C-alpha cells in the first residue's frame, strides 16, 4: 500500500501552524520573495528550512557552505541554527541579489555568522579546495548543470561526519515522468543516477519541497 499522503496547500498550512514559528526576518524574506513573481520559486520551502535547522543542531554543525544565496532565506535560516561561533559561507555570482540578501542578514544581526562570496561558485570551490578548507555541512542549490562538479569538489571540502545536501532533485516531480524529456529534467535524472551509482557515499532522497538528496561519505 502507498504510505505517502498528498501534501496539499491546506495540509502545508496546517504543518506550518503546528511547527515552531519562523524568525521575524525569515518572515520578512518570505514577504519580499512573494513580490518577485515567478523567481520566488528559487527559494527553498519553509519545511526544508526547518529540516536544515534540525540537521545543523543534531549533527553539531559549526561550519556550513552554501552554493546559491538568492535573497538569503536558506542562508539566514541555517545561520539561525548555528551555535555561537558558527559560520556559514554562501556563494552566488549575482551581485544585485546578494545585496538584497545582505540587508536581511544585517536586519537579523547575523553578519558575524554569514560571509558572502560573489563569484562563479566553481572558482570559489576550487580555491577553497586548494586552501584545504573543511565544512560540516554543504548545501547545494544553484545551477543544476554544475551539480556533478559541485559534488565532486565538495567531497574534498567536508569533515568526516559532514553531509552534502542538494535541492531540487525531484524537479517538480518530473524526474519520474517518462513523457517529460526537457533538458533540465534530464540533467536532474542524470545527476540522480550519478549519485546513486557512487559507492563513496550513502544517500537518501527526501520528498521535502522540490526534493532533497542527502549524502554522507561511507
Ligand atoms: C535556487 S537559487 C538559491 C535559493 C536559495 N538557496 C534560497 O533558498 O533562497 C540559485 C542561486 O544560485 C545562483 N547561481 C546560479 N549559478 C551560479 C553559479 N554558477 N555560481 C554562483 N551562483 C550561481 C543564482 O544567482 C541564484 O541566486
Q: How many domains does the chain have?
A: 1
Kindly state whether residue 4 falls inside one of the protein's structural domains. Answer: no
Residue 41 domain-assigned (yes or no): no
Sheet of strand 114-118, all strands in order from the earlier edge strand to the far edge: 114-118, 87-92, 63-67, 135-140, 158-167, 212-217, 201-206
Pocket-testing residue among 93, 102, 116, ligand 1, by greatest number of atoms within 8 A of Cβ: 93
Tens of pLDDT, residue by residue, the chain (218 residues): 567 888 899 999 999 999 999 999 999 999 999 999 999 999 999 999 999 999 999 999 999 999 999 999 999 999 999 999 999 999 999 999 999 999 999 999 999 999 999 999 999 999 999 999 999 999 999 999 999 999 999 999 999 999 999 999 999 999 999 999 999 999 999 999 999 999 999 999 999 999 999 999 99
The reply to whether 2 falls in a domain is: no
pTM of the model: 0.97
SS3 1: coil
Whether 116 contacts 99, CB under 8 Å:
no
In a domain, 3, yes or no: no
Nearest-angstrom CA–CA distance, 101 and 33? 11
Interval between CA 1 and ligand 1 midpoint (Å): 38
Cα(94)–Cα(117) distance, rounded to whole angstroms?
10
Domain of 161, CATH number, reads 3.40.50.150
Amino acid at each position: 500500500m502507498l504510505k505517502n499522503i498528498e501534501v496539499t496547500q491546506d495540509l502545508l498550512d496546517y504543518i506550518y501552524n503546528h511547527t515552531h514559528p519562523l524568525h521575524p526576518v525569515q518572515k520578512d524574506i518570505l514577504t519580499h520573495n512573494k513580490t518577485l513573481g515567478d523567481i520566488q520559486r528559487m527559494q527553498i520551502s519553509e519545511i526544508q528550512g526547518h529540516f536544515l535547522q534540525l540537521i545543523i543542531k543534531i549533527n553539531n554543525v559549526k561550519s556550513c557552505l552554501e552554493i546559491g544565496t538568492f535573497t538569503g532565506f536558506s542562508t539566514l535560516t541555517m545561520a539561525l541554527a548555528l551555535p555561537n561561533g558558527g559560520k556559514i559561507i554562501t556563494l552566488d555570482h549575482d551581485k544585485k541579489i546578494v545585496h538584497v540578501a545582505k540587508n536581511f542578514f544585517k536586519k537579523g544581526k547575523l553578519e558575524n555568522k554569514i560571509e558572502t562570496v560573489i563569484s562563479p561558485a566553481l572558482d570559489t570551490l576550487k580555491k577553497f579546495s586548494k586552501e584545504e578548507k573543511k565544512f560540516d555541512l554543504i548545501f547545494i542549490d544553484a545551477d543544476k548543470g554544475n551539480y556533478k562538479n559541485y559534488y565532486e569538489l565538495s567531497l574534498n571540502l567536508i569533515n568526516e561526519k559532514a553531509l552534502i545536501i542538494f535541492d531540487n532533485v525531484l524537479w517538480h516531480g518530473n524526474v519520474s515522468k517518462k513523457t517529460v524529456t526537457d533538458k533540465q529534467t534530464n540533467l536532474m535524472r542524470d545527476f540522480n543516477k550519478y549519485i546513486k551509482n557512487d559507492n563513496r557515499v550513502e544517500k537518501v532522497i527526501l520528498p521535502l519541497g522540490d526534493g532533497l538528496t542527502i549524502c554522507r561519505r561511507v
